[in-house]
Structure 1
Amino acid sequence: MSNNLRNKFLEDISRLRNNPNSHDVKIIVGEDDNVETFTAHSIVLGTRSKYFQAAFYNEWTKKENNVIVFKKPNIKPQVFSILLEYYYTGKYSLEDANNQIYMIDFLDAADELCLVELLEPIKKYIIRNKVKLVQQNYVKIYNASIKYEGFGVIQEYCEELICKSPELMFESNDFHLIDETLLNIVIKKELAYKEIEIFNYVIKWGMKQRPQINSKISELTQEDYEELQYRLHELLKHIRLFTLTSDEFYNVIWPLRKLFSNDLIVKLVEYHLCTKDDTLIVDSLSRRTSKNLNSDIISLKQTNIILNWIYNNDDKIERNILNNYNLELIHRGSWDGMNLHTFCNMCYFKTSTLIVIKLEGSDIVVGGYNPKSWNSSDYDWIPVNNSFIFSFDNSKLDSDSYILSRIKYQNFAIKNFVNAIGFGDLQFLPNGIYNHKYYEKRIQCKNLFFIEDYEIFKISLKIST
């Protein structure tokens, strides 16, 4: 069958959707104030969907006046409308801005309705657009990260982001919907948030779980306390109670003391009444220290991988050494200006620098490490024996997807001319040029590329105090 005939056939089938005289299925979708009724054809739904085929065969539905009535309260009408269009036409759009806020709902509905062929395209779209989608709907995206296979990169991104911006989760209207496993992971982390605020949100989460506990704190019954203890048993273990001030303990923890063991409350009272300094008692959880990497381009995990390349000459094993080093952001193109003159002013005379570059219109990040200074009195090649360049592909489901390319011809490691800067193979400013020549491996990069943004960090060993 030619493409024209096939298209004509699909057009004829799609017109069935708008023919009310032949509809024999009524589907009531949504709940509360967001409900819509759709009509369709059982022959189309049963043929296109194993879910509806099973529903009709197993009589999950009822009939009214020879019309099959089917209820789907757990799918949003906006989402079902898109999927119904797909049933009739084979077409759907993930790019429509109006659809993006429903992306996880779309994924959940496709999963429930057994539309297996849609799952991977939707998952890949979410991974490619994770920055925008997570900012729009953190809780839903984070919950999906443990529900769907292949979303490890989403979970890592959400957990790193929450260390920088805890308000994305805690201050969300959907905070009470966060999965308990994920909330437990988050409150163990080094969050840039006051401990008493974390405690208050944990209490809020516990009271919002179903059935909700609607009492005021001062009016909680013994039954309420027992239910809260059951819900929050694992979470409260990770609240760093001994880091709270005496005022916070008295005003917030003491009214809720029934949530804790008598032994713990006695220790807390003794600590706040008797301790003369800020020394924490033995075996108590330490104060939170936020690990805030000031980068919009690479993640903490990627940074740790790069540090292993630099200091351990380790191309494969990922030792956790991030806490041992300082990464000082000395130049960001989108802030300071993306031109060679600005680069020279801000980065010359700086040694041990890491450069990361976000390619425009791509999920590829490239960069390199220069252990020496960028400046040169005669503007010539700078020989280096331990520099390298690399690329990360953030579109891959595997968040460790990278290519490391170490210097092969050290006399051509760093290019430091009047009108060119960068590594032998990888030059940048005002845009980018890549030519695989002096470094070992070809990285994932076009020969000519535009730069969306870049960041330059000076790396140094932390000095113990």
Structure 2
Amino acid sequence: MSSKFLKELSNDYEKLFEAEIGYDVIIYAGEEPNVKEIHAHSNILCIRSKYFRTAFSNEWAEKEGGKFIFRKPNISPHLFDIILRFIYSGNIELKNLQGPDVLKLLIAVDELNNQQLISHIQEYLIKHRTEFLHQNPTGILETVYQHETFTDLWKFFLEKICEEPKILFDSDKFINLKAPLLELLLKRDDLNMDEIEIWEGLLKWCFAQQNIENDPKKWSKDDITKIERSLHRFIPLIRFYDIEPTDFFYKVYNYKDILPQELIHDLLEFHIVGTDLIHRNCDDKGATIWVAKIQGSSQLVGGYNSLDWNGNNVWKTTGDSFLFNFTNGKIISTAKLGYVKYPGNAIHCANNQGPRMGNFLCYGNNNWKNWDCNANFYPEIGILNNSRFTVENYEVFQVIKK
């Protein structure tokens, strides 16, 4: 049979649809005030559509005056017209539709259970209309995720987001992303995004979900509980061990909020633990943050000196310094922080010592101890009270004002 004959046959059936001769089906498509009455033929619908065949056989459709009545307020008249033309003629024209309308058409076709069109429209979207993903990535991903038959489109969009995560994470609607979908994304190994940026995005999402300001100074105990519950399922998915130290302390631990108008700047060359290195490398550098990894464990300890390390055998007074402790440096939720309680003994500088804050100090030769058993100088945050220990190395970061 020639292709010319098939084309003529297709055209004849389309003319029958347009002529509305002998119709016995009335379809009301769209919502008020844009409802349109569309006419069709039950015998053609039954032969060409499993959905309509089931509808007629199970008497889904109501009947008035000898005609079957269908009401489809969720499908626009224009899209229903496209679907019926395909049912009649096997032809479909998509090039005049924008991406969002093509997706709406796909949803309508899925409801009408036309598997042939589902595959065709997915293929068309992937080849010709991917740019609309940038317009509303959150809504599109959730829509595709909710439809089990959109497997090709789901795979494509998910890979596209993993390849260019900022399409989603920088979107205004990212904060509205449903938790299961966010969890699914964070579980992937091919999400092409620095862990620190993922963490920042997760925090932004969390604060928006809980309607909490991104200002720790304004948090109540109830706010903190909400944040903990919101983040609990996601924390294990963040690879904190991949985060650079400067990013970790500036962004992850959010020192930009603790230190207004200041930022962590240069990593001072300070990877070994000799006694005089704190002065050789850090004198005249101003405020610093130092961090040490306790040997034989995953524990990180450190502190913020808001002044400097200049001088020998002198105490320095400040109310801004603090100590911190991560019992597991790979898990952010294990962190504790304590501001100085006795400002007159906040910082001690000595040529024969490493960092000293209150009665927590490095004697030199990698000999560390926290003598502050009664938490007189800084709060108790779990830094091995009254026990000597060594560290694998420690680093110091300079803090400068903008």
Task: Give the TM bin, normalised by the shorter chain.
Answer: 0.3 to 0.5
Larger radius of gyration: 2
* TM-score, normalised with respect to structure 1: 0.42
